[in-house]
Amino acid sequence: MDPKEQLTRLTAPIRASMERHRLVWLVILAGLVLLLLPAGEKPLEPEPQTVEAGFDLTAMEDRLSRALSKIDGAGEVTVVLTVREGSRQVLAQDSREDQGETETVVISRGSSTQETVTVQELYPSYQGAFLVCPGGDDPTVRLKLTEATSALTGLGADKISISKGK
């Protein structure tokens, strides 16, 4: 039996099915064509990310307390942070070279509402940290707390004080 006859014998049931169920095969073919057509959707645009406005020192202390309290042997840690200066914003400036003046860029939102254009938000730098915890007298715990606090705040070990508490 040659390959041509084998192919004919294999496709014969499919041809018979196509003749008997012509409408079903047309619907299937139409569905496949529709699947292959481009959807015409707009490309996905990244969603704007919202950044929490402002710096909350109390929230940062609470967050740091919760994280440090999970260190083995530390117990419940209370954190007090001090900062050098408050957070501030760098605003867009429009400078005129011929007059040597600069003006803050303002966007009008209609209805007599105007907003400044913030280029950068600078958060305060930490000045020192004080930690109180039941495991504050153990040198191993003190080292772990100092390293963790330093990593999270950028403070050196000389700016972090740890005391044993109740």
CA distance 71 to 65: 10
Measured on CA atoms in the order 81, 86, 92, 94, is the torsion positive or negative?
negative
CA distance 65 to 106: 40
Residue 32 in any domain: the answer is yes
CA distance 72 to 68: 9
- Provide the token pair at 73: 């042997």
pLDDT in tens, the chain (166 residues): 688 888 888 888 878 877 888 888 788 888 888 888 776 655 544 444 444 456 778 888 999 999 999 999 989 999 999 887 766 666 666 666 666 667 666 666 666 676 666 666 667 788 899 999 998 899 999 999 999 999 988 889 999 999 998 8
| Helices assigned H by DSSP within the chain | 3-20, 22-36, 57-68, 139-153
The pLDDT of residue 147: 93
Residue 130 in any domain: the answer is no
- Count of beta carbons in the 10 Å neighbourhood of residue 41: 6
Residue 61 in any domain: the answer is no
Bridge partners (DSSP) of residue 90 are 120
pTM of the model: 0.51
Residue 8 in any domain: the answer is yes
Residue 13 in any domain: the answer is yes
Residue 116 in any domain: the answer is yes
Number of domains in the chain: 2
CA distance 99 to 93: 14
- Residues 73 and 109: beta-carbon distance below 8 Å: no
Residue 81 in any domain: the answer is no
The domain containing residue 20 runs over which residues?
3-36
Residue 93 in any domain: the answer is yes
